[in-house]
């Protein structure tokens, strides 16, 4: 039986990853930050909990990692967590002799993006650079955009109250979409697959242009959404630059940077590795919106 160490276990994706690992018969050891009583209580009782922080001294973390076959990180945070913290986790994994580590990437094609395209992706690119040369094999799981996230009002793509679907670009660029549970399934598969060591695993539940996404939202929800084109890719780029210069809330332009990477095609995953894990039957966007917008949801 494989043992997988999960850092970020109390987060949205981490909890799902633990479920997916258990479904595959793996033993899970989870890092929970001291004081996170609620997060700890919500974990499956089968999980072995280790209290700590990925920024703890590497010697201490290494003891917690003893005997693990793989590490999955689903942490979220700034440079101190994504770069320094994950590098510290890697050093601990080296000391403990762990073979593989999946860092908290779970994004668009960050390997194809340039520095400056998406500030959050920059952190993950820098972390990947700092991992180079480690005897621990890195597997990066890239999954496109989470449907759960872009369905949130703050993302400004869909407004169910006013019945509007707002988009940038020409609407014809294919974009990768995945649900969080499907991403957790692929992540568990990759963690338990020695052949994924040192590879990028590119997966997507659905690949749709924004016109097709709009139709999938309407079919799934059974509701009409008036399309509203906000501008072209160049205008989106100018809007991001304007918001940055004006000192706007970084959240506003960070979300637009993700949108830009999607509608420009630069963040497109290619080729997709879905066939590598035929046991994962991903949810389509239409199915996702059927479930998410059903009266009982």
Q: Which residues bind ligand NAP (CB under 6 A)?
A: 7-14, 31, 33, 36, 39, 53-55, 74-77, 81, 85, 104, 106-107, 143, 145-146, 149
Tell me whether residue 224 or residue 251 sits nearer to ligand NAP (CB atom): 251
264 touches 121 (CB < 8 A): no
Tell me whether residue 127 or residue 136 sits nearer to ligand NAP (CB atom): 127
Tell me whether residue 45 or residue 295 sits nearer to ligand NAP (CB atom): 45
172 touches 229 (CB < 8 A): no
Tell me whether residue 103 or residue 220 sits nearer to ligand NAP (CB atom): 103
Taking the complex as a whole, how short is the minimal distance between the CB of residue 295 and ligand NAP, in angstroms? 26
Taking the complex as a whole, how short is the minimal distance between the CB of residue 144 and ligand NAP, in angstroms? 6
Taking the complex as a whole, how short is the minimal distance between the CB of residue 227 and ligand NAP, in angstroms? 22
70 touches 4 (CB < 8 A): yes
Where would I find the H helices in the chain? 12-23, 37-41, 58-65, 79, 86-96, 119-131, 147-150, 180-191, 210-221, 233-245, 250-263, 285-292
Q: In angstroms, rounded to a whole number, what is the distance separating the alpha carbons of residues 202 and 38? A: 33
Taking the complex as a whole, how short is the minimal distance between the CB of residue 146 and ligand NAP, in angstroms? 4
Taking the complex as a whole, how short is the minimal distance between the CB of residue 90 and ligand NAP, in angstroms? 14
Tell me whether residue 14 or residue 169 sits nearer to ligand NAP (CB atom): 14
Taking the complex as a whole, how short is the minimal distance between the CB of residue 265 and ligand NAP, in angstroms? 17
Tell me whether residue 152 or residue 162 sits nearer to ligand NAP (CB atom): 152
Taking the complex as a whole, how short is the minimal distance between the CB of residue 33 and ligand NAP, in angstroms? 4
Tell how strand 164-168 and strand 226-231 pair up: parallel
Tell me whether residue 53 or residue 159 sits nearer to ligand NAP (CB atom): 53
What is the DSSP annotation of 119-139?
HHHHHHHHHHHHHTT-SSEE-
Under DSSP, is residue 166 helix (H, G, I), strand (E, B) or coil?
Answer: strand
Query: Looking at beta carbons, which residue is closest to ligand NAP?
Result: 11
Cα–Cα separations (whole angstroms), residue 269 to 96, 108, 110, 157, 266: 33, 7, 9, 21, 9
What is the DSSP annotation of 40-90?
HHTS-TTSEEEE--TTS-HHHHHHHHTT-SEEEE----SHIIIIIIHHHHH
Tell me whether residue 79 or residue 238 sits nearer to ligand NAP (CB atom): 79
- Kindly calculate the radius of gyration of the chain based on its CA atoms and give it in whole angstroms: 19
Taking the complex as a whole, how short is the minimal distance between the CB of residue 108 and ligand NAP, in angstroms? 7
Q: In angstroms, rounded to a whole number, what is the distance separating the alpha carbons of residues 219 and 252? A: 29
């Amino acid at each position: 039986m494989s043992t997988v160490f999960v850092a970020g276990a109390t987060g949205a994706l981490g909890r799902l990853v633990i479920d997916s690992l258990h479904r595959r018969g793996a033993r899970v050891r989870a890092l929970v930050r001291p004081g996170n009583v609620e997060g700890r209580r919500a974990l499956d009782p089968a999980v072995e909990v280790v209290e700590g922080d990925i920024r703890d001294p590497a010697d201490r973390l290494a003891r917690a990692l003893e005997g693990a076959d793989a590490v999955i990180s689903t942490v979220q945070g700034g440079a101190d967590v994504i770069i320094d913290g994950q590098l510290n986790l890697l050093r601990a994994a080296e000391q403990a002799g762990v073979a593989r580590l999946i860092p908290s990437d779970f994004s668009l094609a960050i390997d194809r993006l340039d520095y400056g395209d998406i500030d959050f992706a920059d952190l993950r690119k820098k972390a990947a650079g700092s991992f180079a040369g480690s005897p621990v094999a890195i597997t990066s799981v890239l999954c496109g955009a989470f449907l759960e996230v872009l369905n949130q009002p703050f993302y400004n793509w869909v407004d169910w109250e006013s019945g509007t679907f707002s988009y940038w670009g020409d609407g014809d660029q294919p974009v990768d979409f995945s649900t969080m549970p499907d991403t957790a399934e692929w992540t568990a598969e990759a963690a338990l697959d020695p052949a994924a060591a040192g590879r990028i695993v590119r997966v997507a539940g659905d690949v749709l242009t924004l016109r097709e996404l709009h139709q999938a939202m309407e079919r799934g929800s059974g509701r009409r959404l008036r399309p509203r084109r906000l501008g072209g890719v160049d205008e989106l780029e100018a809007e991001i630059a304007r918001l940055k210069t004006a000192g706007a809330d970084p959240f506003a332009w960070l979300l637009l940077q993700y949108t830009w990477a999607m509608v420009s095609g630069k963040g497109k995953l290619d080729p997709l590795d879905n066939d590598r894990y035929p046991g994962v039957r991903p949810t389509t966007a239409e199915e996702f919106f059927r479930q998410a917008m059903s009266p009982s949801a």
